[in-house]
Structure 1
Amino acid sequence: MTSLHSKQSGFTLIELLIVTLLLSLIMAVGTYSYSLFVDNWQKELGNFNRTKNFTVSVQRVDRLLENVYPYVLIKNNAEAGLLFVGSKSGLLSVTYNGLFNDGSPEVFRISKIENENGRFDLIYQAMSLKYVNIIHEDQPIEFTHKVEIVKDVSDVDFNYYGWSSFRLKSQSTNNEQPKWSSKYSALNTQLLPEKMTMTIKRDNKSVILRYAYDLESERWLSSYSDSET
């Protein structure tokens, strides 16, 4: 007679505890890995959006500055000059392609302003010349638009290359040449600068925008009898 011995099947309690622990560890590692992935993705996405916004802003600045043109004003001494007054931290002038372009030129002021973080924003103020003419040097300019065009950068720096006066240019010799300067007033020189650069520093990187302007901008003054010739 053959006897049959039954055998126990399944897991012991210890084995179940070990399996449960291993599954918990796998889930914890998976959750942590997913959390790291999401954090990195959000960080990269944030960096991408900031870089995209910065690039778009710089392109807008570039378009308006490359379309600066010689706008004639009458100075207080009755001589004619051009509306272009630049410093190391900003510029007042006229552009054909302003940010609030309504089909007319736009007088604008672009300025570097320190923000609460100790960094800098680039502020753009503008007024359309569609219904208003600026004729005299002391005529007030009432800007109707204001916007932060570039935000939270390390620094912004303007430089100008041009003659110190129309007279010096007209009487120039080989020894007389235009020079770079951190300030330039076409009201005084009666000439636009021949070149201008704007350097935007963002953390450890710099973007340098370069512009070349009318080399014979004095011709815009030829119809004004009181201008120097």
Structure 2
Amino acid sequence: MNNKGFTLIELLISITLLSLLMFTGNYVYSQLASRWDKELGQFDKTAQRAQSLNWLQHALQGVEPYIVRNKQKKPVFLFIGANTSLLASTKRGIISDKYPEFFRISALENENRKFDLVYQAISTKDLLLLTSDQEIEFSHRLTLLTDLDEVRFSYFGWADLAAKTSLDPAIKPAWFSRYSGIDNLITPEKIKLTLVKNGQELNLFSILDINANDWYKHYIEVGF
């Protein structure tokens, strides 16, 4: 009868091999877990970015003519479009799906010398805006996108209301880097928002009411 068991050397070799297998398995698991966390985090960032772009497009497509009075008490449009910011009214806001809202989209430089795209808004339910110089205290602030290389607004439309109603065929709408409904007495027909990140460019387009001057004529006729 053979009662021979494991020798000490065999036992040490077995323990060493088992330790190697456990170490290898743990290393592979940690690598897979790290990769999964990284991919999951990237997915979350991508999903958040897609949602922010959808919100942004939704708000821009809802921009509508909104009449206020200037310092001379004459009706003008609440629309102040600059190269890196836009102040207007939208019927498709981000903070509420029941009421239109006044909003401002701004490109703000951050500590990385990049730009964050910030959306500020207040519902028309909470603010009655009557004049062009009335102060707007926004109740909501949301950072939509971060670390952008460039943010650029462009506006397509007539130079002013006089150009829109002119019979001169040589006068045509064009693209502008700035557009004021207060000065022009009309709103643009299109908005283009250009976003650049890591060398990649994305353009968002919005087509607005091309008959905004009818709103202006209405308020003139009723003596607003």
Q: Confirm or deny a common fold (TM above 0.5).
A: yes
2:208 aligned with 1:200: no
Equivalent residue for 2:136, pick from 126, 137, 141: 141
Deviation at 1:72, TM superposition (A): 1.1
Deviations 1:87-106 (A, max 9, x none): 11110000112222263321
- The runs of at least 4 consecutive aligned structure 1 residues that moved more than 4 Å come to none
Higher Cα Rg, which structure: 1
Structure 2 letter corresponding to 1:165: D
* d(CA) in 2 for partners of 1:102, 1:24: 60
Q: 1:159 aligns with which of 117, 142, 154?
A: 154
Which amino acid in structure 2 is aligned with residue 33 of structure 1?
V
Matched, 1:14 2:9: yes
Task: Look up the match of 2:62.
Answer: 67
2:36 match: 41
Which consecutive unaligned segments of at least 5 residues does structure 1 have? Answer: 1-5
Deviations 1:153-200 (A, max 9, x none): 343221111111121222254433222222111112222111111123
SS at match of 2:218: coil
Match of 2:94 among 77, 95, 99: 99
TM (norm. structure 2) is 0.87
- Identical amino acids, percent of aligned pairs: 37
Cα distance, 1:10–1:132 mapped onto 2, change above 3 Å: closer
Deviation at 1:124, TM superposition (A): 1.9
Distance in 2 between residues matched to 1:221 and 1:77, nearest whole Å: 15
Secondary structure, aligned partner of 1:222 = helix
Change over 3 Å in CA distance of 1:16–1:204 after alignment to 2: farther
* 1:145 to 1:7, Cα distance in 2 relative to 1, 3 A: closer
How far apart, in 1, do the equivalents of 2:45 and 2:220 lie?
Answer: 52
Distance in 2 between the 1:225 and 1:34 partners?
Answer: 73
State the Cα deviation string for residues 106-155 of structure 1 (Å, max 9, x = none): 11111111222333222222222225432222222222222323334343
The answer for unaligned runs of 5 or more in structure 2 is none
CA distance in 2, matches of 1:139, 1:88: 22
Q: Over aligned residues, Cα RMSD in angstroms?
A: 2.4
Question: What is the TM-score of this pair, normalised by structure 1?
Answer: 0.85
2:85–2:153 contact (8 Å) kept in structure 1: yes
Between the aligned partners of 1:175 and 1:25, the Cα distance in structure 2 is 83
1:189 aligns with 2:184: yes
State the distance in 2 between where 1:172 and 1:32 align. 77
CA distance in 2 between counterparts of 1:204 and 1:45 reads 24
